[in-house]
Amino acid sequence: MAVHFHEEDLPEGVLTEGPVAVDTETMGLVTGRDRLCLVQISDGGSEEHLVRFNPDSAYVAPNLARVLADPARLKLFHFARFDLAAIEHYLGVTAAPVYCTKIASKLVRTYTDRHGLKNLVEELLGISLSKQQQSSDWGAGEISEAQREYAASDVRYLHRLREELDRRLLREGRSELAQACFDFLPTRARLDRLGWAEQDIFAHL
């Protein structure tokens, strides 16, 4: 696998047609406070692309934004709810249509409460992922090789996970339910961003 590192935007023409796996790294978990530092993207081939945004970034990334906003490209995420909010807040685009491996896992792996990416990759693909860099400083002036490899691994397996999860969704008769959840995700992320992250607006009270 080759990991390519870019500053402020994705070079034009580096991705093939079709679905792309996407992930983000931020300074923390509060979207408006904790800036977007890195966007990882892969077309499912032998390369991953990392786009780093600096502290003074204007987040003007037309090539990356074009891919994320393309209605003809499915975007694969793990826990899309968070990434979609960060992408919309900082890059100003709605990354849709969406597929979320975490939601798919929760719909078909009801025999466990372990739905992290590491758990999924290990059970479904037989590959062990390192999460050592998960809480590292993504805003640092230099992104280490270990950080780059960690970030790349977060998108490296999403295409294969989708294939296996789709088989299980079909087997359990939950494909349509999953699709309805995926379709709602951009709205769910927008609600989070606008202040309804903790409140269930569908609840009676």
Q: What pTM did the predictor assign?
A: 0.95
Q: Which domain holds residue 7?
A: 2-196
Whether the predicted pLDDT of 134 surpasses 70:
no
Determine, yes or no, domain membership for 204.
no
Whether the predicted pLDDT of 56 surpasses 80:
yes
Closest CA to 41 of 4, 96, 8, 70: 4
177 Cβ neighbours under 8 A, 6+ residues apart: 107
Averaged over 69-90, what is the pLDDT? Answer: 98
Whether the predicted pLDDT of 94 surpasses 90:
yes
Determine, yes or no, domain membership for 201.
no
Whether the predicted pLDDT of 201 surpasses 70:
yes
Sign of CA dihedral 120, 81, 88, 165: positive
Whether the predicted pLDDT of 1 surpasses 90:
no
The H helix count followed by the E strand count for the chain is: 7, 6
Residue 135: pLDDT band by 50, 70, 90 thresholds?
confident
Determine, yes or no, domain membership for 143.
yes
